[in-house]
Structure 1
Amino acid sequence: MTTAVTRREPRLYVKKFGGTSLGSLARIEAVAEKLTEAHRLGEQQVVVCSAMAGETNRLYTLAQQLDRNASPRELDMLASTGEQVSIALLAIALQKRGINARSLLAAQIPIHTSENHGSAAIEQVDPRYLQQLLQAGIVPVIAGFQGINASGDITTLGRGGSDTSAVALAAALQADECQIFTDVDGVFTTDPAIEPAARRLNAIRFNEMLALAQNGAKVLHPDSVATAQRCRVPLRVLSSFTQGCGTLIVEDLPSSAAIVGIAIAHHQALLTKAVEAVNHTFRHQMQQLLQHCDIAFESSATTTDVWFVVGQQHIPLLLTAMERQPERIPINCQSSLTKLSLVGNVTSSFTSISKALAQMLDGEGINVKLSHWSAATLSVWVDEANADRAVRVLHHGFGLNKV
């Protein structure tokens, strides 16, 4: 995906700032101050920007008001302008402070992607132009979330695309770190808004961070974590608004606790079918239907039933699609569920962890609707009304509030 360049000194950091960090001129000025201070300390910096908070949604809304079936190519052309605004404003703010900054669209680097509009994958980053700028003392300020395909069209990378842009650039430049600046000061053991005793983790392994991201933690998009792991790019999550060392995400760390965090995914729906009616045809039929509707899902079969979990917001679309099938698909649907995922080295202590989890929730009268496990996660689904209480019970019970 990338073309490597020779390592150099001083240390090089790729720094990504999200929409909240750039949501107003005052916040852009604050980011410029942070970058200026680092520049004066001798850091080499490549900056990646998202659009200002709310801008991408505003642009998509304008397009929908004209045509709900607007072409994906034109939607990418439209959506990509949000980042163009933020990089130009940040470059202006840096230049005002005496920093030689240059705003760049992804096509000017270039960042090559697949053909898919709206969900393109980065295929290659050519770092040579950026290397020239860095050698000349210029700070590149790059539009995230976008690239250019073989046809010469602008593409966008989908949700979390700016994080992925930053990681791909860091890999191509062999940066010392890729730093993701956001509105929280690191990765926490769980959502601090639910459990005030949640702790910031100083460091976490890639596979654990990926499991947290895939199961509901919002701090990083799973694609960016997977890319960083594959390219061996150290990641660090930092706050745009406060000082601190954040959370470092790397491949190898000393042994840690069996459970390092609890990920939370709200608004889930569970679809089940009893085993006497289960067969391979049914499961295949449901998978095809969900894929046709472009609905993400989890699925598995047990000795008693087969189940699918989807986002609750997709149920009306799914039910409509099921009604259009030649044969009715009888299935039980439970909505208003929350998925809680214990993340860590689950496999090594699965029996004791699952037993402890069941005892903790049973003791609080919290019914588990479904459980599922993998090498790095043990997930349970509970009623939405009990979710926050379950998080606090599990967080305390597994000692995540302790340093």
Structure 2
Amino acid sequence: MTDTCRGHVLFLNWRDTLHPEGGGSEVYLERIAASLIKQGYRATLVCQAHGRAPAQETTADGLNIVRRGGRHTVYLRAALLYLLGAIGIGALSRRRLGRPGVIVDVGNGMPFLSKVYARIPVIALVHHVHREQWPVVFGPRVARIGWWIESRLAVRVYRRCQYVTVSESTRGELAGLGVDPHRIAVVHNGTPEVNGPALPRTPHPSLIVLGRLVPHKRVEFALRATALLATEMPAVELVVTGEGWWDEPLSRLAEDLEITDRVRFTGFVAEDRKHELLCGSWLLLMPSLKEGWGLTIVEAGARGTPSVAFRSAGGVADAMTDGETGVLVEDEYEFFQATRALLLDAARRTAMGSAAAAHARRFTWEKAGEAFARVVAGQLPTGQPARIGQRVP
């Protein structure tokens, strides 16, 4: 971090990367925050408390993390901390960070609605629109309320705010909800660094699913595809990497499908082990219902591993080039067909893997951080106008 502070950025997000259900959204936020700190900003993240981390800490990158409240109360606790002036004035920090000059309000379905109470600029960060996910995760009544908050109330509250999203797909969906597209900047994810050496593929057909184990990730599709493939390829293996509250139903389904000897549930894995699994797998499967970007697609691509995903899943269409770095499908039957075809066609699979590696190199956290910093600078009193619609190649 430079000696001169360019401003204090307050991030409001429901989780951090240490949370048991933390995912790509949290990785994005903390990588962007780290980049801003390197560029001379100070940054604080307010998120929900959990047993894996203290109530407050400062990371090695310099991000001040304040954990308060739970899944449903973190929104109120964040508002109270801000209104009481407790953020950045010493009450919650050993260092005086200064009062925030801009808020980055992350809407993971349920936004913080900070523009209602904050009298400083607010940037609305939306990874993807949750229209399809509300009814999957909640019952019909809660889903209707949640979707109304996301699609109607939030659009009204943030109507004069700058937006940031991670893909053109989400930008289009936000515009469809009534957000002025000229106020939406696109700042893609970066690709996590590949720190290990290239490793050989498994000698047998191998598939991997990487992500949180929750219903809308639809890991069931990968399990059912594996059961069908096993009738033709007895040595096929599926590795399910990640953790979440949906793990038991998935384990039971594997038993019902009689494929427990062909499926490995690894739980959370460290980065070096994830590198080994992505290098060794023949294909990454992403059956997710909706993604803002598709970080695991690019992670796999960086190791030369192509992917199969759903065209309707939002940002995954931006994270890959259909037919070149992977395959996008329309339904579960096509998902199985595309997976089978790639497993049987080594030449095509290898060519896609090489193209996926080249594609992944286009996306860096350095570019993402610089682009996000331009948006932040445009919102601070001394900043220049944000580059509206900024895209990171």
TM-score by length of 2: 0.31
- Give the structure with the higher percent strand: 1
Whose Rg is larger? 1
TM-score by length of 1: 0.30
